[in-house]
Amino acid sequence: MTGSTPRLVVLPAADWATAVAAELAERLSGRPDLRIVLPTGDTPSPLYEEVVRAEREDRLALGGVTIVQLDEWVGLPPDDPARCDRRLRTELVARLRTPPAAFVTIDVDGPDPDAAARRHDDAARGIGLALLGLGPNGHVGFNEPGSGPDDPTRLVRLAVSSRDAATARYGATRVPTAGITIGLARLLEADEAWLLVTGERKAAILRRVLVEPEGPDRPASYLRRHPRLTVFADAEAAALLPR
Ligand code: F6R
């Protein structure tokens, strides 16, 4: 599979969330029943804030949309503040005037996480738009270094930096060692993918993901194979990219 050159949209940090939300509103007006993959984390939080505002002001509607969760920690209790399903609910889903048609979460609390991952692999088919963040180690979702473009949705061991993020940044009450993530195989099948990247701390890895040859040490680099990839970066994250 070969992709075309990604579309790179560089925005001033202050405009980033409103510009991405405006493009999302445009997509949704054309396809109100979009099946959409959503990540959690520091990057999408301001976007979700803006999406909630736009929905309340009738500039965007999510009532027909199916939201599919990108990834989840395994081993955190359901009410843990770091849980991705909880964050998506509190930052976005529960704040909408009209909730999405469906919110498909990953069943990490059941007895068989491998079976839950297989079920989520089915949920991750037919995706219209996948929104994705970029890990400082080049991961996308929990497709950690070593992941490949043919990987399905599956149970994975987390990299140390991801485990640290769970506790230090997101306030997890325990250190999770595993997660379930939609695999790159499904993400590359989505009709469209958006890689969301903000802040100076992502500048070096964004350059390595977009400029250097693709490779399993930076799984996000495989997204370049996607025929409709847009990278929405703020000026800080884009600072090391070639002009
Ligand atoms: C979380 C996820 C992760 C994050 C990535 C960046 O659902 O999929 O891949 O997108 O670790 O995290 P932030 O945005 O917090 O820098």
pTM tops 0.95, yes or no: yes
Asked if residue 202 belongs to a domain, the reply is: yes
Residues with CB under 6 A from ligand 1: 39-43, 70-71, 84, 133-135, 139-141
Residues with catalytic function: 71, 137, 139, 144
Asked if residue 174 belongs to a domain, the reply is: yes
Helices (H), 2-159: 16-30, 44-56, 84-91, 113-123
- The CATH number of whichever domain residue 191 belongs to comes to 3.40.50.1360
Domain span at residue 162 reads: 7-234
Asked if residue 243 belongs to a domain, the reply is: no
Instruction: Please state the atom number of ligand 1 nearest to the C-alpha of residue 41.
Output: 15
CA of 141 to the centre of ligand 1 (A): 7
pLDDT tens readout for residues 17-47:
999 999 999 999 999 999 999 999 999 999 9
pLDDT score recorded for residue 198: 98
pLDDT tens readout for residues 67-81:
999 999 999 999 999
Confidence of residue 1 (pLDDT cuts 50, 70, 90): very low
125 φ, ψ to 5°?
-95, 150
Consecutive H or E run containing 205: helix 203-210
pLDDT score recorded for residue 31: 97
Asked if residue 118 belongs to a domain, the reply is: yes
Asked if residue 162 belongs to a domain, the reply is: yes
Asked if residue 1 belongs to a domain, the reply is: no
- What's the number of domains the chain is made of? 1
Closest CA to 193 of 222, 216, 215, 150: 222
Asked if residue 64 belongs to a domain, the reply is: yes
Instruction: Tell whether the model's pLDDT for residue 2 goes beyond 70.
Output: no
Asked if residue 210 belongs to a domain, the reply is: yes
